[in-house]
């Protein structure tokens, strides 16, 4: 599994013009926008490991984690994170897991974050989403498990 994690001061996601998720940390605070990609060999154990890593990684103010600050998290699936761009000009998506594999694992990841104590908002799996964010820093990490 792969997560692109961004430290944000706000983030929201819209589907068909309707807002389906939003995080607004307290004034001066941060949250995390997490884009999640799933490959064929991923499983629930990897989803749990990734959730713990995202929740506890120390990229917020004063070298603290989202867990330390009870920072909100916005999660959206993004199969394009699994793109292979090594050949030619057209990315290959063959490493991305199909929906029947990927959707339950994104749900596992989100559920694992909630079990750890996170306040989580989500996008809608498989839908075209418009994501707005204010990236602070910028701080953006790519985490693979």
Q: Which residues are catalytic?
A: 78-80
66 vs 40: CA distance, rounded Å: 29
Intra-chain end-to-end CA distance of the chain, in Å? 6
| Radius of gyration of the chain, Cα coordinates, nearest whole angstrom | 15
**3-class secondary structure, 22:** strand
Q: Which residues of 82-98 are buried (b: 16+ CB within 10 A; e: fewer)?
A: bbeeeeeeeeeeebbbe
Phi, psi dihedral angles at 36 (to 5 degrees):
-120, 130
Phi, psi dihedral angles at 136 (to 5 degrees):
-100, 125
């Amino acid at each position: 599994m792969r997560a692109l994690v961004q430290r944000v001061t706000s983030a929201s996601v819209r589907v068909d013009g309707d807002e389906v998720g939003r995080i607004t940390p307290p004034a001066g605070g941060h949250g995390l926008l997490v884009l999640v990609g799933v490959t064929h060999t991923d499983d629930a154990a990897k989803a749990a490991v990734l959730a713990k890593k995202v929740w506890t990684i120390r990229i917020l103010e004063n070298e603290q984690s989202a867990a330390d600050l009870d920072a909100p998290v916005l999660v959206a699936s993004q199969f394009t994170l699994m793109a292979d761009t090594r050949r030619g000009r057209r990315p290959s998506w063959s490493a991305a897991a199909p929906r029947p594999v990927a959707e339950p694992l994104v749900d596992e990841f989100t559920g694992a974050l909630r079990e750890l104590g996170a306040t989580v908002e989500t996008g809608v799996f498989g839908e075209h989403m418009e994501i707005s964010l204010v990236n602070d820093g910028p701080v953006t990490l790519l985490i693979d498990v």
